[in-house]
Amino acid sequence: MTVAKIAEEHGLHRVGARPSLGDYLKQTWERRTFIYELAKARVQSQNQRNRLGMIWVVLKPTLNALMYGFVFGILQGDRRPENFPVFVVIGVFLFEFFSTSMNGGAKSITGNTSLVQSLAFPRLTLPVAQITQNVLTLMPMVVVMFIYAMILGTWPTWSWLLIIPLIAVFTVFNMGVALVCARITVHIRDFTQILPLISRVLFYTSGVLFSVDRILGMWPWMVTVFDFHPIYQTLSIARGVIMDTEPYDPMGWVVVSVWAILLLIFGMVYFWKAEERYGRAN
């Protein structure tokens, strides 16, 4: 009998060995306080480094909404959606949540090499902490988004409360994206160089700045493709529950939920499979 076999029979395992998926998720859950405190500390640290602090959280998407709204408002002419300023604000603010989740998730392992190589813990906690950080950042953004909507003439209704479950589903979706990107970046470091391009392409092709029905109405097959676009459907639902002028298809909830669940399951398994690889990241 080999030494390895004897060790296994007595409950001894190789250092850094990947646990079962169930144990892996359990270990991650046991570190939920660490995840929250890490996310909160990063938010505070990020704000302390900037002179304007927390103001930048909402100032950046606000400036983007003003710039893109002005340019694309002129380019679209009479094909602009009704209440275009609110339309753009909702799109830009929520897409910012997706973009920071994808980019931050991609760097969650490679950006914490010293922590990964020096301590034993489920590496899943790092992308989860990144998404938690983004959710904490999103909260004031949503409040400001509502304030802008009211300033621009859209008044609150009970349907606004549906933004809470929508953000919850969108968070699950973003978690799946972050997990996939985190592992890819460990294998291919250059992936972070093309992420800004991917983010920009998604920004321009997710209906952030335009109405799909008005711009692509002459190509019905393209409109049908957008029926299964998770980011577009998320933005459509958000606009539908906030704006009276933007009705949405309730089936969008199904599309977004299915995408979120499937991507989260795939992302977790995909990320977990490479657990042993993360400790050797350099």
Specify the pLDDT at position 6.
Answer: 45
pLDDT score, position 79? 72
For the chain, the residue count is 282
152 is a domain residue: yes
Using an 8 Å Cβ cutoff, are 260 and 170 in contact? yes
At 2 the pLDDT is: 53
15 within domain boundaries:
no
In a domain, 267, yes or no: yes
Residue 231's nearest CA partner among 254, 197, 208 is 208
Residue 281: predicted pLDDT: 47
**Residue burial 201-214, b: 16+ Cβ < 10 Å; e: rest:** ebbeebbbbbbbee
Q: Is residue 3 part of a domain?
A: no
Domain annotation covers residue 7: no
pLDDT of res. 96: 92
Q: Hey, what are 76's tokens?
A: 């679209």
Count of domains in the chain?
1
DSSP letters, 88-126, are HHHHHHHHHHHHHHHHHHHTTTGGGHHHHHHS-S-TTHH
Domain that holds residue 272: 20-278
Other Cβ atoms less than 10 A from the Cβ of 30: the count is 12
Q: Is the pTM of this model over 0.85?
A: yes
Question: What is the full per-residue pLDDT of the chain (282 aa) written as tens digits?
Answer: 554 454 345 444 454 567 888 898 999 999 999 999 989 888 887 766 665 556 767 777 788 788 877 777 766 667 777 788 889 999 999 999 999 999 999 998 888 887 887 777 888 999 999 999 999 999 989 998 998 889 888 888 899 999 999 999 999 999 999 999 999 998 888 888 899 999 999 998 888 888 887 777 678 888 888 889 999 999 999 999 998 777 788 899 999 999 999 999 999 999 998 888 886 645
Residue 174, domain member (yes or no): yes
Residue 61 belongs to some domain of the structure: yes
Both structure tokens of 77: 């002419």
In contact, 199 and 96? CB cutoff 8 Å: no
Q: What's at 119, amino acid-wise?
A: L
Confirm if 239 and 208 have CB atoms less than 8 A apart. no
With respect to residue 2, please indicate whether it lies within any of the assigned structural domains: no
Q: Give 254's contacts (C-beta < 8 A, 6+ positions apart).
A: none
